[in-house]
Structures are given as C-alpha cells and as structure tokens.
Amino acid sequence: MHEVKSPKKPLISYYIIIIAILLLFNLIAMPRINQMEIEEMDYGTFMRMTEKKQIGQVDIRDNEIIFTNKSGSKIYRTGLMEDPDRTQRLYDSGAVFSSEIVEETSPWITMLLSWILPLLIFIGIGQYLSKKLMEKAGGGANSMMFGMGKSNAKIYVKSSSGIKFSDVAGEDEAKENLTEIVEYLHNPKKYTEIGAAMPKGILLVGPPGTGKTMLAKAVAGEADVPFFSMSGSEFVEMFVGMGASKVRDLFRQAKEKAPCIVFIDEIDAIGKKRDGQIGGNDEREQTLNQLLTEMDGFEGNTGVIILAATNRPESLDPALLRPGRFDRRVPVELPDLKGREEILKVHAKKIKVDPDVDFNKIARMASGASGAELANIVNEAALRAVRDGRSCANQQDLEESIEVVIAGYQKKNAILSDQEKKVVAYHEIGHALVAAMQTHSAPVQKITIIPRTSGALGYTMQVEDGDHYLMTKEELENKIATYTAGRAAEELIFHSVTTGASNDIEQATKLARVMISRYGMSRDFDMVALETVSNQYLGGDSSLACSAETQTRIDEEVIELVKTQHEKAYRILEENQEKLHQLADFLYEKETITGAEFMDILNR
C-alpha cells in the first residue's frame, strides 16, 4: 500500500482554529461561572442529601458532580466515586438531571454552547471533508483514511504507569515467568553478549479479570520503560485498511521508543483462526497479516517486547503462535484461596477498613471470584459504609458485597408469592440439608430467598474448606446428590415439581458426564479417555472421541448416576423430614439463614 501524507497538515491547522474558537467561548462564559460560588462537599454528605431528597439539580460530569440544593440557591461540588445505583437513587429522590447547572443564569450562553457552536463545527468539518473528497476524487478516499487510521495507542511513558509486581497479588508463577523480561529490559547487553534472543511475543493466557493487563503494565513499570497498549477490538474498525495501518503505526512508534512494552489486549479479536469460510472478515485478516509482517520484520533484540492477552488461546491462528512470534505462553489463572486473600488485602489498602476484618473468611466465601471481582467487592463494601454513614468498612459490608457482586443486586420490589416463597425455602434447604448430611460436602455459609436481579430465586453460599484439586469419586457423587436435593425436597413436600431446578439439572448432568467420560469413574469404561478438551478456559468445550454405540452407553451411565444420587438425596430428606420442616420454616420466616443458625437448628 502507498503512504499518502498530505492530509496531515491541513488537519492540524483546522484543529487549531477549532480550539481557538472553543477558548474564545470559554473566555466569555468563564466569568459568569465564577460569579456563582461553588462549595466543596464530601461524597457522604452528597449521599445523605440524596436520601433526604434535598437535591434540586444535579450534573454528573467526567470527574465531579455539580449539584444544587432544592431551592437552587446554593451550588456544590463533590468528587465522583464509582457508585452504580447513584442515578437511580437520585432519580428516586426527585432530583432534576441538568447538563449545565452553572449556565442557568445566562441562557444565551447555554444556547451558544449547546447549539450554535456544535453546528459551526459540524458545518466546518463537513465542508472540509467534501473539499478533500473532491480534491482526491478517484481512489483518493483511501488516503483520507490514512490520516484517520493513525494509531491512538495510549502511551504511558516511564513511571506514569506506576504499577509494580507488588501491586499484582497472587499470580506468583506468572510474575516469575515475566521477571526474565524485566531483567532483559534492564540489561539487554548481558543477553546479547551470549547471543541469546529474547522472545518477541509473549501470550498471557487466562480468564477475564485475572490481572493480565496489570501484569503487562507491571513489566513496563518494573523495567521503567514506556508502555503502549491497544485492544484487539480497536484494530478492527469500520474502514477496510484502517486496522492494518494502525498496526503499522503502533510498531513505528514502538520502535522509536524502544526499549518498550507493547500490549495487545483481546488479541483473539484479530488473531482468530482463518477458517477459510467464504466471505470471511477481510478487515481482520489484513490486520492480522500486518501484525505478522511487523513481528517478523524486527530482530529479537530491538528491545520491543510484545505482550498479548487472550482467554481463548485455542482459537488463535496457528501462524501467530509460530516460533519468533508469540512462542511463549504465560498462564494467568483464577486466584486460589491464598491469592484471593492477598488480592483482597491489596485493594483494602486503598479504602478504610475495620482492623478486625477477617480477610481469610471473605476469601473463602468468594471462591471462584476473579481479581477484578474481588476488587469490586472491596469497592462495594466501601460504598456500603459510606451509605450508612460509617467511617470504615467492616466484615458485614464485605460479606454483603460478595453477594452483591457475585449474585447481582437485591431486587427488593420483586415480591414472591407466598406459595412461591415456601417452595423456594424448601428447595434451598433441601440442597443445604443434603450437603450437610453427607460428611464430605462443604458446610453451608448462608442461604437467602431474597430474589436477585441475576434471576436466581434462592441463593445458597457454600464455603469450601480451602481449595482442593483432587476430589474423590464419593465427593463428586455427593455433589450430584446435593444438586438434585432441591428438586427432591419439592417432590417430598409438595408432591409436584417446578421449573426452579433447571440450573441444578444442568450442573448435575455436567458433573456426571465428566465423571464418566473424563475422570474414568465409570463402571464399564475403565481408564479410557472418551473425550478431549479443547477449551480449558471458557467452560471447556469438549468433543467425544468414541463410537456412537459407546455414546449411547455413556448416556445410559450418566442417567443412572444422576438417578441414583437423586434417590439418595430423596432418602436423606425423608429420613430428616422433621429438620427439613424446621429449617424451611425458619428460612421462610426470616428470608435468610446463616450457617451458624442452620447448624444450631440441625443439632438441636
């Protein structure tokens, strides 16, 4: 492709004119704004005013909130905090959302700023574009896109990224893997003297929110080099050819600033397998080809190291994984119990927490949560504390936040009918009672039957006694029994079944199937692998590797396994019917039962 540089210069002078116009209007408008005195206010007071319906107008801006009291006689300013239901609460309090509070006093300026100025800019841009198009008529439109396709890779020069390995909690293996890169960036000579070439590309592989971006930034932060970042989905834009030109531009910038780190998030967006389908995505393919060309084009020792993140490595085009490209893979897994505790502590340092908080307990309760979810839990806890007017977040804030983050927000206005509530109570107690009666199952932490926006009616939180990777056949069978126990309780008490068990059915079936086809825990098949797993990270797509006849036998075994466990669960509940009633009554009354209360009633 040919480079055409002409549009660059006029574009710049054009921007200067626009900025000048903007400045002029700001000069006229500013003194007016300053006439109204704006009082600073802390976020807690803002929230209390919202609650007491004392807010008149409110304007939520990029990094601050401007609002007035009910009569409009005073204007306040407060900082912006992450607070997802703020808009709803403000709306409920009767506040008026206004986009330009301060301009109230001078309507003509509002007019000018909100109507005439944008109009002028639009007319200007329109004229400019049509002029350019006319000039370059006949294939020239492409050149315009070169100007627009200029990479907007964000550059975090030097320590401005500021993130160090110590900010990334857990993930020790990944950090260890990446230390070598830092070492190389610090002292490339040591490597070049021996003749060792650093890998050009490193693939960070793991589920979303596990800190891949953070790790990439930390490598740059530790090595004290510039950090360029770009997301794969950004490359794939509207116009054909733009993605490729962005890649070219990104690498040009990177080579100028070497040594440096280039980070490509969501690389699967451009690097998907080229499946040879008719009408495949041309744009993506061009972008991918450009990336491959760039990677081959520079030597391993130029000091540009490319880190890329993906959660679906198996979907990547093999060409990307060839030696000299992304030939090194660093797994970034979901944090284990210890990792979760560390992540919670790292984020808790950013807020005020009660010194008595038991982080280990929180980490146990949040089994399976990603780093991003844990960060969210801590933030949510701080917001709860502010809402209640307390000066620091406590254990209860954190525990409640787990439910908020993991199970969705409480939906107080969705009321279950009485009969529904009763069924849900028995269903949930059914799960918990069967889990408790089988010694190997995890004890129950808390059950609630308050509906959540996630759609789940009841919600049972189980605590596992630490992460363990090896599970016995018996433990897995007990788990299946626990999944089926909700339905079993409905059958036992109401002699009918509801639709509320669809998720349980799915889970039980999935578990039974992997026991037979993957873990070799069947009666007939011994240790023969009956399926191969192709996708480790997104739920585990797997394909059966056996004859149709064997498939039928697997299905039969799965059915038998689930059926046996379902019957076992039913029997356990039948034998403990008295307790089932007592516990379900309690849950129905209170809507929530804690693990301690549960055990108390059970052992009474």
Q: Which tokens hold the place of 450? A: 């308050």
Distance of alpha carbon 230 from alpha carbon 153, whole angstroms? 6
Catalytic pick among 428, 477, 490, 557: 428
Residue 517 interacts, among ligand ADP, Zn ion, none and using kind-specific CB cut-offs from 5 to 8 Å, with: none
Length of the chain: 604
Does 212 bind ligand ADP (CB under 6 A)? Our answer is yes
| Selected binder of ligand ADP within 75, 102, 214, 587 (CB under 6 A) | 214
Q: How many residues bind ligand ADP (CB under 6 A)?
A: 17
* Per-residue contact string for residues 467-496; x = within reach of Zn ion by CB under 5 A: -------------------x----------
To the nearest whole angstrom, how small is the minimum distance from the Cβ of residue 209 to ligand ADP?
A: 5
The beta strands (E) that lie in 163-250 are given as: 201-205, 227-231
Terminal Cα-to-Cα distance of the chain (whole angstroms): 81
Distance of alpha carbon 244 from alpha carbon 151, whole angstroms? 10
Q: Which residue, 90 or 205, has its beta carbon nearer to ligand ADP?
A: 205
Does 209 bind ligand ADP (CB under 6 A)? Our answer is yes
Distance of alpha carbon 440 from alpha carbon 474, whole angstroms? 8
Q: Which residue, 69 or 315, has its beta carbon nearer to ligand ADP?
A: 315
User: Where does this chain touch ligand ADP (CB under 6 A) — which range of 23-31, 78-86, 130-138, 211-219?
Assistant: 211-219
To the nearest whole angstrom, how small is the minimum distance from the Cβ of residue 343 to ligand ADP?
A: 4
User: Where does this chain touch Zn ion (CB under 5 A) — which range of 54-62, 273-281, 300-308, 503-511?
Assistant: 503-511
Q: Which residue, 149 or 486, has its beta carbon nearer to Zn ion?
A: 486
Does 269 bind ligand ADP (CB under 6 A)? Our answer is no
Q: Which residue, 92 or 173, has its beta carbon nearer to ligand ADP?
A: 173
186: Cα within 13 Å, side-chain hemisphere: 10
Q: Judge contact between 217 and 164, C-beta under 8 A.
A: no
> Taking CB under 6 A as the criterion, which residues in 163-202 touch ligand ADP?
168-171
How big, in percent rounded to 5, are the helix, strand and coil portions of the chain? Answer: 55, 15, 30
The DSSP code sequence of 273-342 is: -----TT--HHHHHHHHHHHHHHHHS-TTSSEEEEEEES-GGGB-HHHHSTTSEEEEEE-PPP-HHHHHH
Q: Which residue, 380 or 504, has its beta carbon nearer to Zn ion?
A: 504
470: Cα within 13 Å, side-chain hemisphere: 0
* Per-residue contact string for residues 332-351; x = within reach of Zn ion by CB under 5 A: --------------------
> Taking CB under 6 A as the criterion, which residues in 535-554 touch ligand ADP?
none
Angle between helices 282-297 and 242-257 (to 10 degrees): 20
To the nearest whole angstrom, how small is the minimum distance from the Cβ of residue 221 to ligand ADP?
A: 13
To the nearest whole angstrom, how small is the minimum distance from the Cβ of residue 366 to ligand ADP?
A: 13
Q: Which tokens hold the place of 517? A: 């086809």
Q: Which residue, 399 or 504, has its beta carbon nearer to Zn ion?
A: 504
Distance of alpha carbon 554 from alpha carbon 542, whole angstroms? 15
To the nearest whole angstrom, how small is the minimum distance from the Cβ of residue 217 to ligand ADP?
A: 8
Residue 595 interacts, among Zn ion, ligand ADP, none and using kind-specific CB cut-offs from 5 to 8 Å, with: none
Distance of alpha carbon 302 from alpha carbon 295, whole angstroms? 11
Does 211 bind ligand ADP (CB under 6 A)? Our answer is yes
Residue 486 interacts, among Zn ion, ligand ADP, none and using kind-specific CB cut-offs from 5 to 8 Å, with: Zn ion
Q: Which residue, 404 or 554, has its beta carbon nearer to ligand ADP?
A: 404
Residue 504 interacts, among Zn ion, ligand ADP, none and using kind-specific CB cut-offs from 5 to 8 Å, with: Zn ion
Does 230 bind ligand ADP (CB under 6 A)? Our answer is no
Distance of alpha carbon 240 from alpha carbon 285, whole angstroms? 10
Q: Which residue is nearest to ligand ADP (CB)?
A: 371
Does 385 bind ligand ADP (CB under 6 A)? Our answer is no
To the nearest whole angstrom, how small is the minimum distance from the Cβ of residue 431 to Zn ion?
A: 6
| Selected binder of ligand ADP within 95, 178, 288, 309 (CB under 6 A) | 309
Does 264 bind ligand ADP (CB under 6 A)? Our answer is no
| Selected binder of Zn ion within 171, 504, 522, 584 (CB under 5 A) | 504
Cis peptide before 259 (omega within 30 of 0): yes
* Pairing state between β 227-231 and 154-156: antiparallel
Q: Which residue, 257 or 431, has its beta carbon nearer to Zn ion?
A: 431
User: Where does this chain touch ligand ADP (CB under 6 A) — which range of 55-63, 204-212, 486-494, 587-595?
Assistant: 204-212
> Hey, CA dihedral for 257, 258, 263, 264, is it positive or negative?
positive
Question: What secondary structure letter does DSSP report for 450?
Answer: S
Distance of alpha carbon 247 from alpha carbon 287, whole angstroms? 7
Does 303 bind Zn ion (CB under 5 A)? Our answer is no
Q: Which tokens hold the place of 180? A: 């070598």
Q: Which amino acid is at 144?
A: M
Whether 428 sits among the annotated catalytic residues: the reply is yes
Using left for φ > 0, alpha for ψ between -120 and 50, and beta otherwise, residue 136 falls in alpha
Q: CB 537: neighbour CB atoms within 10 A?
A: 18
To the nearest whole angstrom, how small is the minimum distance from the Cβ of residue 315 to ligand ADP?
A: 17
To the nearest whole angstrom, how small is the minimum distance from the Cβ of residue 353 to ligand ADP?
A: 16
To the nearest whole angstrom, how small is the minimum distance from the Cβ of residue 210 to ligand ADP?
A: 4
Backbone angles phi, psi at 140, to 5 degrees: -75, -20
Question: What secondary structure letter does DSSP report for 498?
Answer: -
Distance of alpha carbon 169 from alpha carbon 371, whole angstroms? 9
To the nearest whole angstrom, how small is the minimum distance from the Cβ of residue 171 to ligand ADP?
A: 5
Does 382 bind ligand ADP (CB under 6 A)? Our answer is no
To the nearest whole angstrom, how small is the minimum distance from the Cβ of residue 91 to ligand ADP?
A: 29
Q: Which residue, 159 or 503, has its beta carbon nearer to ligand ADP?
A: 159
Q: How many residues bind Zn ion (CB under 5 A)?
A: 2
Distance of alpha carbon 264 from alpha carbon 207, whole angstroms? 16
Does 294 bind Zn ion (CB under 5 A)? Our answer is no
Exposure string over 553-581, b if 16+ CB within 10 A, otherwise e:
bbeebbeebbeebbebbbebbeebeebbe
Residue 371 interacts, among ligand ADP, Zn ion, none and using kind-specific CB cut-offs from 5 to 8 Å, with: ligand ADP
List of residues contacting ligand ADP (CB under 6 A): 168-171, 208-214, 309, 343, 346, 371-372, 375
List of residues contacting Zn ion (CB under 5 A): 486, 504
| Catalytic positions | 428
